[in-house]
Chain A
């Protein structure tokens, strides 16, 4: 059967960029997600992924690359004289302006969908477990980069919000917030995104982790609004393997986990039409993201979360280039 998802193509492209083709070619070199999910401590889970990811990077030709970069630039007209580094002026007799660290560090918000559909599972862990691990991993990775990380969880509305900070204990707060059990209702991205747009005024990186099982057009308006506020947005779609292939064996009465609606399904008959609709839905989402300048990453819950890190790293690289071009 034709594999509908071209998730591996950009990954291979990234890998060639970062020089880790050998790792990508060997399936064993990725972290086994089922083994990872058996680790109960989420921080340890995130640390295992990120440390492994760093190890991989250290063996890469991009050794020495760091986001921790503070610069001095010559003073030019229009700059605030208060930002002149007078010590440097004493040594070099030239005016330099010191770029402060907190200005260089980004604010990152990880937006996690905790709706009922995320509880679905056809393997030993649910999409929600995967999304939490993914969020924790991203948060840990970004914290290591000294970025201020915040978290927002939502169902129909915002359930929890933690403002982006870079401070001791922030990671623990993020993890405890992610580990909170939720009642879970239906998915509605409009309200949380609108809420986020109101409370996050500084330009930030917004990583939205969800299954995006909503009509794509309903997302256009809130995402456009966020983009209009110069936020960088990255959509991380999490799917269960069964959701992609509809790998049910026997005819069954399916109950929508969010609406409670019941429908009799014969998988053999419905599969083709289902996949067609699923692909169409995804392509609409991808198209919308492309139009809005939003990154799109689709992850199956069996995929290693390192893929997301690669995508993030790639986006940062691209973003830097775009910024430098700007």
Chain B
């Protein structure tokens, strides 16, 4: 017999108590009060041998009850021999291999793989071993679901073999996310296999544990108690590191700042605290790694940053190179030179309109220009004889209600060529204003090529927007709870649209009477938006609302095929392009759209957006190209995330502070002991002897009470 909690057996010592009580001279039970004891003398209590003998049965019952209770609390179980023979439950062990850019130093990746290999070989045959690689995401090399299916004898071989699939990346390190995902995978296995959660898991992280890693995902994560984490740190021989970053790269390319006296750019050089180097050379390099222009020098003490000026890069320069530190994985900073351009937004409305009734006046107030593109807002009279602009120079036309036949023909052709049109139906349907439903319906038929029934909405006071599609890029910026209150935008009048073929239209927002407010439709290569009300103050509060600027800006960005700034991409970011575009990576290959890590042959479509969007993560630094219809429209630079340059080893306590259950590294015996204890718990729970013992105690207590009652009655 063994005991799960043998210390409770010490409670058996309590049997001394009833023995003592029975041995102690019996004091009279009868107690009486008396007026005064002044005439009395104390007499010794009587004790007869007979009374002791009489209570032997009671004494035996009491002693037996206490002894049984002590044994019950000690949780006895039998048959330890069979337990030893039984196959022991293995530990579920997950290895996380850091494959981030910082592991490119000094063959650290080889060290890490070697370390994992050793650890795998040290594992017991019963352990389940899973291997994952991580950087800013978690990638399975041997997922735990697969590892549990493998025979114990093959587990170690398979795990070691899976390490060959691990490859270094240029991504940043998000250890928090990797831990959370690995723990969830591990915990799902523990929960599904071990009923009652008796099993336990261990996550072994093989990493450089750099200070630039991200742990945010752990902040709100409830760490499971039966999963512990071990960190196997890979040390670098050269702890110091420096990197250079170009500051305000975009603005330096602006014509205004490219004047003779400011033909310089600012470069920030960061030197890590334990670096041995203080002097660095900075130079612009071309594709052949040749110096372009002159070399600059920067003196930065270890543990500090310095901003230094150097000549602006020429068109030939691809990247900024830093020389002088011991690690070179982050010494290149790619820069994409951008050409400034200009485009126009055309507003078609009668020039006779007053300023506050004008659509163009409010659009002109919006800062649509960017450092690399100047946007002009032009106004044009309807039914003008002037030539229609090209979508390449004027990507967006805003038209008011007053459209003549010539305008309708021109707009239709403009849309077919790939332009974007926003039709603002800012005139009420009434005989006085000269607008009838038929006029609008004819315009719809001509521009959109589909019939839409138009009537004037009958609202008592005002209408508001509802059912706004915040997933659409037009409203996506306003989706946050702080900004998504549209109830302050009131529309005094609007038109009710009833498309005959509603499937062709995408409704982005509706009025509270259910009729569409903003809807869009593809026409040829172009895109038509229809706003069923005006934004002028006499029509609605839209133009005066704080939401007007982001909505119109977003419409313009979609119309102008606007893309992200060329120098704001980092490795790991996603690049997005539409069907008419393609992205060429630094190696000259066209990138394929990737969803959830899988390349798909067919172009990815996003139902939320009219235009079909493709996306792919940027896997390495360099200069990428964006092509549209055999014309390169943009080059953009992708750089290493700055946090990867922070290679100073972090304290492993940072994980403990976030609630991670850290394992004691030096106690495999303790783990074994814990394992044995878990097995004992399981066996004891199956046998459940303590329940029978407690029942026995209750029986003895009942018998003792009965004996006492019988004795007292017989007296």
* Chain A residues, CB < 8 A from B44: 264
B42 near A263 (CB under 8 angstroms)?
yes
Q: What bracket does the count of chain A residues touching chain B fall in?
A: 20 to 34
* Chain B residues, CB < 8 A from A252: 28, 30-32
Q: Nearest chain B CB to A215's CB is how many angstroms away?
A: 8
A117 at the interface (CB under 8 A from B): yes
A278 vs B35: C-alpha distance when bound (angstroms): 13
A213 vs B39: C-alpha distance when bound (angstroms): 9
A71 at the interface (CB under 8 A from B): no
A269 vs B46: C-alpha distance when bound (angstroms): 12
* Chain A residues, CB < 8 A from B37: 254, 256, 259, 261, 263
8 Å CB interface, B26-43 against A: 27-28, 30-43
Per-residue 0/1 for A247-261: is the Cβ within 8 Å of any B Cβ (1 yes, 0 no)? 010111111111101
Q: What bracket does the count of chain B residues touching chain A fall in?
A: 10 to 19
Can you name the residue of chain A whose Cβ is closest to the Cβ of B42?
A: A263
A251 near B34 (CB under 8 angstroms)?
no
A213 near B40 (CB under 8 angstroms)?
no
A253 vs B44: C-alpha distance when bound (angstroms): 11
A261 vs B36: C-alpha distance when bound (angstroms): 9
* Chain A residues, CB < 8 A from B35: 117-118, 120, 127, 211, 213, 240, 243, 256-258
Q: Nearest chain B CB to A243's CB is how many angstroms away?
A: 6
* Chain A residues, CB < 8 A from B41: 270, 273
Q: Nearest chain B CB to A216's CB is how many angstroms away?
A: 11
8 Å CB interface, B12-57 against A: 27-28, 30-46
A320 at the interface (CB under 8 A from B): no
Q: Nearest chain A CB to B383's CB is how many angstroms away?
A: 115
* Chain B residues, CB < 8 A from A264: 27-28, 42-45
B31 near A250 (CB under 8 angstroms)?
no
* Chain B residues, CB < 8 A from A270: 40-41, 43
8 Å CB interface, A278-294 against B: 278, 281
A32 at the interface (CB under 8 A from B): no
Q: Nearest chain B CB to A276's CB is how many angstroms away?
A: 9
DSSP majority for the B interface?
A: loop
Q: Nearest chain A CB to B303's CB is how many angstroms away?
A: 80
Inter-chain CB contacts under 8 Å: number = 80
B40 near A274 (CB under 8 angstroms)?
yes
A278 near B32 (CB under 8 angstroms)?
no
A68 at the interface (CB under 8 A from B): no
A265 at the interface (CB under 8 A from B): yes
A254 near B39 (CB under 8 angstroms)?
no
Can you name the residue of chain A whose Cβ is closest to the Cβ of B32?
A: A252
* Chain A residues, CB < 8 A from B34: 120, 254-257
A49 vs B38: C-alpha distance when bound (angstroms): 34
A248 near B32 (CB under 8 angstroms)?
yes
A269 vs B41: C-alpha distance when bound (angstroms): 10
Per-residue 0/1 for B45-77: is the Cβ within 8 Å of any A Cβ (1 yes, 0 no)? 110000000000000000000000000000000
A273 vs B32: C-alpha distance when bound (angstroms): 19
* Chain A residues, CB < 8 A from B46: 251, 266
* Chain B residues, CB < 8 A from A258: 35-36
Partner of A251 from the list B28, B38, B40 (CB cut-off 8 Å) is: B28
The 3 closest A-B pairs by CB, nearest first: A120-B35, A252-B30, A117-B35
7 A-B interface contacts by CB (under 8 A):
A120-B34, A211-B36, A252-B32, A254-B32, A254-B37, A255-B32, A270-B40
B40 near A254 (CB under 8 angstroms)?
yes
Can you name the residue of chain A whose Cβ is closest to the Cβ of B46?
A: A251
* Chain B residues, CB < 8 A from A94: none
B36 near A213 (CB under 8 angstroms)?
yes
* Chain B residues, CB < 8 A from A259: 37
A270 vs B647: C-alpha distance when bound (angstroms): 96
Can you name the residue of chain B whose Cβ is closest to the Cβ of A281?
A: B39
B43 near A266 (CB under 8 angstroms)?
yes
Q: Nearest chain B CB to A270's CB is how many angstroms away?
A: 6
A277 at the interface (CB under 8 A from B): yes
A137 vs B632: C-alpha distance when bound (angstroms): 131
Q: A213-B36, A252-B31 are in contact. List 4 more A-B contacts (CB 8 A).
A: A211-B36, A250-B28, A264-B28, A266-B43
A273 vs B42: C-alpha distance when bound (angstroms): 11
* Chain A residues, CB < 8 A from B28: 250-253, 264
Give the one of A120, A127, A264, A278 with max B CB within 10 A: A264
A274 vs B42: C-alpha distance when bound (angstroms): 11
Can you name the residue of chain B whose Cβ is closest to the Cβ of A253?
A: B31
A122 vs B382: C-alpha distance when bound (angstroms): 125
* Chain B residues, CB < 8 A from A253: 27-28, 30-32
* Chain A residues, CB < 8 A from B32: 248, 252-255
B33 near A213 (CB under 8 angstroms)?
no
* Chain A residues, CB < 8 A from B43: 251, 264-266, 269-270
Per-residue 0/1 for A166-202: is the Cβ within 8 Å of any B Cβ (1 yes, 0 no)? 0000000000000000000000000000000000000
* Chain B residues, CB < 8 A from A118: 35
A258 vs B33: C-alpha distance when bound (angstroms): 9
Can you name the residue of chain B whose Cβ is closest to the Cβ of A120?
A: B35
* Chain B residues, CB < 8 A from A240: 35
A117 vs B33: C-alpha distance when bound (angstroms): 10
* Chain B residues, CB < 8 A from A243: 35
Can you name the residue of chain A whose Cβ is closest to the Cβ of B37?
A: A256
* Chain B residues, CB < 8 A from A274: 39-40
